[in-house]
Each structure stands twice: as C-alpha cells, then as structure tokens.
C-alpha cells in the first residue's frame, strides 16, 4: 500500500469515528435548545469553553511531545511512561487546587436568574472531575495513534460518546417517562429526580469519561516507573511553548463566548452566548474534518520526517487538504437552510431567535478553513524542534482575539466575535507560512492554494448572499466547484490512484 493511501486510510478511519461521535453529540444541540431557554443553554457554552482551556493546561502539550520523542528515542516504553506521569502529576495538582477553590469559582460565575449558587458549585466540581479523567486518557490515546491502531482508538471514542448521549437521553427523557407512567422504579426516581436539571448533562459526561479511562486499562498496565528526569526536562523544554501555543489557540476558539458573557449587559449576555453557541454548532462539521486530519497526520508527519521526499509529500497532502476543506466549506453553506433545523427550540419565537445568528456561520467556517491550513503548516516548527515559533504565532493570534473582542463586542455582540475569529486565524496562517518557509521550507503550491480558497469564497458569497441561501442554487454551485477541482487535479489523482509512492 502506498504511503499516501495508508495515510488516507487511517485518516478515513479517524474521520468516520469522529463524524459519528460529533454527529451524536451534535444531535444533543436541538434537544438542549428545545429543552432549555437560550440563557440556560449559555451555561453549557460557558463551562465547556472553560473546559477547553483547562484541558490544554492539563495535557501540557505532552501529546505532540510524545510523538516527537518517539521519533527521537528508541526507548518507546520510557517515553510513554515519562510522558504519562508528567501529565498525571499536573492533573493531581490541578485537582487539589481546583476543588479547594470550587466555591469561589462558582460565586464568580453565578447568575441568580439561571441556577442556584449550590448548583453552580456542583457543576464546577463535576467539571473538575471530568477534566482530570480526560487528562489521564490523553497519552494512552496518543499511544494508540502512535502504534497505528486507529480502530481501537475510534471504538473507544465511540463508546465514550454513546455513553454520554445515552445517559443524556436517560436522565432528560426516559426517567421522566418512567415517573409519569408509573413504571417500575418510578417511586425511586421520583424521590430524587429534578426534571430538566442542567446538572444531568455534566453527570453524563463524568460517567462517560470514567468508563473511557477504565477501557484504557490495558494501555495503563504497560506503564513502568522508569522515571528519567533528564528526559522529562527535555520534554518540558519542548512542550512548554506548545502548551502556551495551545492555550493561545483555545483562547482564540473560546474566549469570544467568555467575553460575550462578561462584556454584554447581564440581562442579555447568556441569551447572546446561547445563540452564538448554537450557531457555532453548524460550523462544527468543518472542525470534524480538521480533527480527523490531525489525528492521522500528526503521527504520520513525525514518522515520515526522515524520508528524503518528505517535503514533497507534505506539500501534496496540503494541496488535497485545501481542496477537501474548501469543498466542505462550500457544501455547508449551500445547505445551511437544512442544517439550521438542528437548532430547534420549544417555541417559534425562540427558534427565530436562534436562527437570527445564522449570518455568522459562513464567517466562522472560513475561519476554520484558515485554522485547518495553519494546523497543517505548523508541522514545520514541531519537526525542527522550534516550538517557540508556535508560541509566538498563537500568542499574536490570542492578543488579537482578546483586544479586538474587548473593543468590539460591547457594540457588535457575536458578529464581532465571528469576524475577529476569522482575522486571528488568517493572521496565524500567513505568519506560519512565512516563518516556515524561512526556517523549514516545504514546497507548497501557493498559487493553486490561493486559487481554490478564493474560488470557494466567491461561491459561498454568491450562494449565501446573492441566492439568499437557496438550496438548489447552492448545490449547483457546489457541483460546479467540485467539477473544477476534479478537472484541475485529474492527472495527479490518476497518478496517486494508480502508482503513487
């Protein structure tokens, strides 16, 4: 099997499982927005935004570090154990500090008109436990990827999401049905059950994370206590810039929701966060592809780095990546009138309120396009051990995000957030390319990349604004775009399918 075919095959496996997982998670959005008002749904958006930031801190950039050090050292067992225990120590310290301050955190986040202070403190404690369990799973999952075991990785991820979705349905719908109809155990459930309580969503997540860690026990049993402080020091020097870069990226991804919550008037902030968060879910389809690509690409890029033609292979992968991500971008905008029905609500007025935010979706999607290209480009500083550049680039993106959000959210609300996200990711993409070509040149075909991106952007503008989201017109334009891409790449595709290296 050719190198590119093997890479594409593993990425497809990660992609299928990621699509299924995200789709199952995605169907919870209409359930939540139909069950809760926008201001209550804002609780999910806010807490999961904080969770994303803290996940980056707890993993400490060690996932990428793990792949890099496997490439540097022959003793894979030592690399695995030292990486895991480093993350474990950080996780334990976090748990002690966070649990001791849970009451103060809850007081700071509390909105009296949404939930009680006691409930907020419970939510915080649930999230601390979820974060710790997920952090302990990061390196075992990375080991599965490094060992070329996409099937097991994907199965465990699917089990996690099935548990999460299943428990959500159990708490939010099945238990109320049991109580209402007087079925067996109805008196037991009625004694403690709270209808439509937000906390059940977090409890479901906690149980799913615990089940996943238990299923990773075979990987955990392969750990040894051969701690090497010299290796750990090297890991910290490599991973610390990645940690800061990851934090900056998470800030870019989530700070808009946090700023919306804090910078807008209290009587509308949760509602605006809820609308923006629900519309962001439509853009998640593009992030699914980016995540699936990253899962397959990161170990592949590190393993292939020593080959003489690595640069040419990376450039070809980038070309196909841009075509694929542009097609998804156009397809999502072309069908936004169908996708909007995933954002449901319990009444017409609430539905219209959510749908009023659809205008941010194309902006967010093109931001994700820029982000995906940046993540592909970022391999240069990881392979050359120049992770400090990742810190610089992401830091610039984070500063842009923070400053511009503070300046423009009070006046333009979530529309400002969408444009700022696009600006930050585009700047990061351009900076990464310029610095990469100076320090670790890869022969990317820039003219072709710009051609596809500009063409996709033009098609989207015509579909969304000129044809006013008409599904038929949008999909005709999608087919036209796909035809142009296939015609342009026909020779390369035939070569790859027939006799690529």
Rounded Cα distance between 472 and 456, Å, is 17
Mean pLDDT within 280-289: 80
Q: Is the pLDDT of residue 111 over 70?
A: no
The residue whose two tokens read 């392979």 is 383
Residue-level pLDDT at 498: 59
How much of the chain exceeds pLDDT 70, in percent? 92
User: In this predicted model, what pLDDT tens digit does every residue of 308-358 receive, in sequence order?
Assistant: 888 998 999 999 999 999 999 999 999 998 888 877 666 677 778 788 888
Strand ranges (DSSP E) for 321-388?
A: none
Residue pair 298/145 in contact by the 8 Å Cβ criterion: yes
Place of tokens 């099937």: 151
Name the band, by pLDDT with cuts 50, 70 and 90, for residue 167. very high
CB 301 within 8 A of CB 71: no
Residue 267: closest CA among 51, 84, 474, 112: 112
Spell out the residues 6+ positions from residue 123 whose beta carbon is closer than 8 angstroms to its own.
43, 47, 106, 115, 198, 199, 202
Q: Which comes out higher in pLDDT, residue 263 or 46?
A: 263
pLDDT for 501: 45
The whole-number pLDDT of residue 7 equals: 76
CA 370 – CA 431 distance, rounded (Å): 12
The residue with tokens 């971008």 is 329
Q: What percent of the chain has pLDDT over 90?
A: 44
Q: Is the pLDDT of residue 113 over 60?
A: no
State pLDDT tens for residues 475-498: 999 999 999 999 998 887 676 665
Q: How far apart are CA 388 and CA 407, in angstroms?
A: 28
Instruction: Over range 458-487, report the average pLDDT.
Output: 94
Please give the C-alpha separations between residue 271 and each of 38, 115, 261, 383, in angstroms, as whole numbers.
5, 14, 9, 44
Lowest-pLDDT range of 9-23, 75-89, 278-292: 9-23
Task: Name which residue leads in pLDDT, 260 or 138.
Answer: 138
Is the confidence at residue 202, as pLDDT, over 70?
Answer: yes
**The pLDDT of residue 346:** 60
User: 267 CB contacts (<8 Å, ≥6 apart)?
Assistant: none
- For the chain, what is the mean pLDDT? 86
pLDDT value at position 243? 85
d(CA 238, CA 251): 21
Split at pLDDT 50, 70, 90, the class of 141 is very high
Q: Which of 282, 317, 290, 325 is nearest to 301 (CA)?
A: 317
- The SS3 call for residue 258 is helix
Res 1 pLDDT > 50 = no
> Tokens 């070329």 appear where?
148
Task: Give the per-residue pLDDT at 20.
Answer: 78
Contact criterion met (CB below 8 Å) for 343 and 33: yes
Q: Is the pLDDT of residue 201 over 70?
A: yes
Contact 395, 244 (CB under 8 A): yes
pLDDT over threshold 90, residue 462: yes
Nearest alpha carbon to residue 62 among 227, 240, 263: 240
């Amino acid at each position: 099997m050719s190198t590119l075919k093997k890479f594409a095959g593993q990425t497809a496996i990660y992609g299928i499982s990621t699509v299924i997982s995200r789709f199952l998670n995605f169907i919870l959005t209409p359930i939540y927005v139909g069950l809760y008002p926008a201001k209550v749904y804002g609780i999910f958006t806010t807490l999961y935004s904080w969770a994303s930031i803290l996940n980056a801190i707890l993993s400490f950039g060690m996932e990428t570090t793990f792949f890099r050090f496997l490439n540097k050292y022959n003793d894979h067992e030592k690399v695995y154990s030292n990486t895991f225990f480093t993350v474990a120590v950080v996780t334990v310290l976090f748990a002690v500090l966070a649990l001791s301050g849970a009451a103060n955190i809850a007081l700071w986040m509390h909105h009296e008109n949404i939930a009680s202070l006691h409930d907020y403190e419970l939510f915080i404690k649930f999230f601390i436990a979820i974060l710790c369990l997920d952090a302990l799973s990061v390196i075992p999952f990375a080991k599965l990827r490094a060992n070329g075991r996409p099937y097991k990785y994907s199965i465990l991820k699917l089990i996690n999401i099935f548990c999460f979705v299943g428990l959500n349905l159990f708490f939010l719908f099945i238990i109320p049905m049991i109580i209402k109809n007087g079925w067996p155990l109805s008196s037991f459930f009625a004694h403690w059950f709270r209808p439509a309580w937000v906390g059940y969503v977090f409890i479901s997540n906690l149980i799913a994370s615990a089940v996943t860690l238990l299923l990773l026990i075979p990987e955990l049993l392969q750990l040894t206590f051969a701690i090497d402080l010299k290796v750990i020091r090297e890991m910290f020097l490599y991973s610390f810039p990645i940690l800061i870069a990851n934090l900056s990226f998470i800030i870019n991804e989530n700070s808009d929701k946090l700023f919306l919550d804090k910078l807008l008037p209290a009587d509308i902030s949760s509602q605006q966060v809820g609308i923006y968060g629900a519309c962001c879910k439509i853009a998640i389809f593009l992030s699914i592809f980016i995540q699936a690509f990253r899962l397959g690409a990161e170990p592949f890029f590190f393993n292939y780095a020593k080959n003489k033609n690595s640069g040419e292979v990376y450039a070809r992968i980038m070309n196909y990546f841009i075509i694929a991500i542009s097609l998804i971008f156009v397809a999502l905008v072309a069908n936004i009138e169908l996708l909007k029905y995933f954002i449901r609500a319990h009444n017409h007025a609430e539905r219209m309120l959510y749908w009023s935010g659809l205008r941010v979706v194309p902006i967010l999607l093109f931001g994700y396009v820029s982000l995906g290209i940046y993540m592909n480009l970022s391999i240069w500083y990881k392979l050359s051990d120049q992770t400090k550049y990742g810190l610089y680039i992401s830091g610039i993106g984070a500063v842009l995000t923070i400053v511009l959000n503070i300046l423009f959210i009070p006046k333009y609300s979530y529309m400002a957030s969408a444009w700022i996200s696009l600006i930050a990711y585009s700047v990061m993409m351009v900076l990464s390319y310029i610095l990469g070509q100076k320090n670790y040149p890869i022969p990317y075909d820039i003219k072709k990349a710009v051609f596809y991106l500009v063409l996709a952007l033009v098609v989207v503008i015509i579909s969304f604004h000129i044809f006013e989201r008409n599904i038929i017109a949008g999909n005709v334009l999608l087919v036209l775009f796909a035809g142009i891409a296939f015609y342009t790449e026909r020779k390369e595709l035939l070569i790859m399918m027939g006799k690529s290296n």
